Amino acid sequence: MTHNESPVHPLDQALALEPLDKGHWQGTTSQAYANMVGPFGGTTGATLLQGVLSHEELLGEPVSLTVNFAAPVGDGNFEVIARPVRTNRNSQHWWVELVQDGEVVTFATVVTARRRETWASTEADFPDVPPASDLPVASKEGRPAWTRNYDMRFVDGALLGEPDRDYPSRSRVWMQDQPSRPLDFLSLSALCDAFFPRIYIRRPKLVPIGTVSLTTYFHADGEQLASVGSDPVLGVARASRFGKGFFDQSAEVWSRGGELLATTHQVVYFKE
């Protein structure tokens, strides 16, 4: 590396794909984003999105990403296969697979589209919270490796902390990549899975869990994300229902200026 070159960000290293054929790449899991079992789901989803964004037939920008975690992703090499299943005038539907040892372990559907200017309105309210600079950085001691790649500053709802009396599963937290990195669709999709499981917020007890399906809706276009730069974003997450081995988790991600960038929803398996 010369003195004019910058080191590759850990997220970009984790999402790097080597082309094998049209719509077919090879990647390798990153120990920097290791979770309790296998890799952090946010980087797995972002890797599948990377396959779409790297495809020569890509139309437009991401509108939605749904990732289904069909089996554990093992450490090591994997293949990503992406294909457009339908291309319309302004939108495109994708099927993406992550394959290990000849078997699909995770798959995704993605919708991309050419954005255009239309009437717009945001009904959700930007929370009244202190700025990130007024809050301490959350401890990463004893946490999975992937948490070291994020600066998190909790307004409330910290992991294994005291739940809010009125909103016991809610967390409000300022987040940004560490080291800092300009926001784009890949980093935003990973951030949308950076919320700790709601069951750990509701009850200060660790139990086995695993995300089954995660959907992210992108409300901002690439230009809006670029304007955020490397500023922290505010995440607000909560659950609606726990029971019979599963719980849901919904979240919003806001820019510091009060612009809703993404909403995300997932269903999580848990075991007592």
* pLDDT lower than 70: segments of the chain: 1-6
Asked whether the beta carbons of 217 and 262 are under 8 A apart, the reply is yes
Residues 92-114: pLDDT tens digits?
999 999 999 999 999 999 999 99
Could you give the CA distance from residue 256 to residue 26 in angstroms, rounded to a whole number?
36
Instruction: Please count the other Cβ atoms lying within 10 Å of the Cβ belonging to residue 159.
Output: 20
CATH architecture designation of domain 10-114+136-270: Beta Barrel (2.40)
All structural domains of the chain with their residue ranges: 10-114+136-270
76, two tokens? 């090591």
Instruction: Please count the other Cβ atoms lying within 10 Å of the Cβ belonging to residue 11.
Output: 23
Q: Is 188 exposed, middle or buried (0-12, 13-18, 19+ CB in 10 A)?
A: buried
- Residue 1 confidence (pLDDT): 46
> What's CA 117's distance to the chain center, in Å?
26
* CA torsion through residues 64, 68, 74, 77, sign: negative
Could you give the CA distance from residue 116 to residue 121 in angstroms, rounded to a whole number?
15
- Residue 4 confidence (pLDDT): 56
Q: Which residues pair with 252 in a beta bridge?
A: 236, 263
171, two tokens? 């967390």
Q: Please choose, from the candidates 59, 194, 70, 74, the residue with its C-alpha nearest in 3D space to the C-alpha of residue 82.
A: 59
**CA torsion angle 111 114 118 124 (round to 10):** 30
- What is Dmax (Cα atoms) for the chain? 56
- Residue 233 confidence (pLDDT): 98
> What's CA 180's distance to the chain center, in Å?
16
What's the whole-model pTM score?
0.96
